[in-house]
């Protein structure tokens, strides 16, 4: 099956959760697992701080620059749009993408600041829809204990509580809730079973769809 065939596409697997919920740790583990099985797999993350939009976001997050909340929201979204065609191309050519944060982060974090939920959702419409979303569920207090928060703008307990509530409004059938307090290996194992089923479904011809349709 060479690239381009619609018969065998890769899966779009997203990891979401509060800051320090373990997304990056589990993304790496899942990557090794799928690669080990011989699946073409890549690990992506948002924000993608390597682009010029990503650099604006990064300096905002580290408090080096100030930005209006609506502008910030649109930059996070634009940072996904600028990767959209590459994302679709990779998936259609059979590569599975594990993505550390996606549109759900965009909506949950911005609406936790008080921006209108539907307004936050609008610019995400039309991006590739994930086949599977792992939500690493952790009480905000426990997340705060993990190595302590750094200096980034959103790493504050009160704010993370609001983010957690916003996330709840985004759950749909593609979501699998994972107990993020379990030992890392246990979490990895749970995720592997679900992920492999998802990859096989996509290989068998499950169609790509778009947010939110």
CB-based burial label for 53 (10 Å; 0-12, 13-18, 19+): buried
Provide, rounded to whole angstroms, the least separation between the CB of residue 2 and ligand T5A: 33
Element (H, E) at 8: none
Q: Of 16, 10, 210, which Cα lies nearest the Cα of 107?
A: 16
Residue 24 binds Na ion (CB under 5 A): yes
Minimum distance from residue 121 beta carbon to ligand T5A (Å): 12
Handedness of CA 97, 98, 104, 108 (dihedral sign): negative
Of 72 and 94, CB closest to ligand T5A? 72
Considering the complex, state which of residue 163 and residue 202 has its C-beta at the smaller distance from Na ion.
163
Q: Where are the alpha helices (DSSP H) in 38-68?
A: 52-61
What's the CA gap between 128 and 21, in Å, rounded? 24
Residue 187's binding partner out of Na ion, ligand T5A, none, with CB under 5 to 8 Å set by partner kind: ligand T5A
Q: Choose from ligand T5A, Na ion, none: what does 142 bind? Cβ within 5-8 Å by kind.
A: none
Q: Which two tokens stand for residue 99?
A: 């993505």
Least separation in angstroms between CB 22 and ligand T5A: 3
Nearest approach in angstroms of CB 27 to Na ion is 8
Q: Are 157 and 140 in contact (CB under 8 A)?
A: yes
> Among residues 9 and 79, whose Cβ is nearest to Na ion?
79
Which 87-116 positions form the footprint of Na ion (CB under 5 A)? Answer: none
Applying CB under 6 A, which residues contact ligand T5A? Answer: 17, 19-25, 46-47, 61, 76, 101, 105-106, 109, 146-147, 154, 180, 183-184, 187
| Structure tokens given for 28 | 């790496």
Q: Which residues in this chain contact Na ion in the complex, by CB under 5 A?
A: 24
């Amino acid at each position: 099956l060479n690239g381009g065939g619609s018969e065998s596409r890769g899966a779009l697997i997203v990891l979401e959760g509060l800051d320090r919920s373990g997304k990056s740790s589990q993304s790496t583990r899942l990557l090794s697992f799928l690669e080990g099985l011989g699946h073409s797999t890549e690990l992506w993350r948002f924000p993608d701080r390597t682009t010029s939009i990503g650099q604006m976001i990064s300096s905002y997050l580290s408090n080096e620059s100030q930005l209006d909340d609506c502008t910030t929201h649109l930059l996070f979204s634009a940072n996904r749009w600028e990767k959209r065609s590459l994302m679709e191309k990779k998936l259609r050519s059979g590569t599975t993408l594990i993505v550390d944060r996606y549109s759900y982060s965009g909506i949950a974090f911005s609406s936790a600041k008080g921006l209108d939920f539907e307004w936050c959702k609008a610019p995400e419409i039309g991006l590739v829809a994930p086949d599977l979303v792992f939500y690493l569920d952790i009480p905000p207090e426990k997340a705060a204990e993990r190595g302590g928060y750094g200096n980034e703008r959103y790493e504050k307990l009160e704010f993370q509580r609001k983010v957690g509530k916003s996330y709840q409004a985004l759950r749909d059938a593609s979501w699998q809730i994972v107990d993020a307090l379990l030992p890392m290996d246990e979490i990895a194992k749970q995720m592997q079973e679900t992920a492999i089923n998802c990859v096989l479904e996509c290989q068998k011809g499950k169609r790509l769809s778009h947010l939110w349709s």
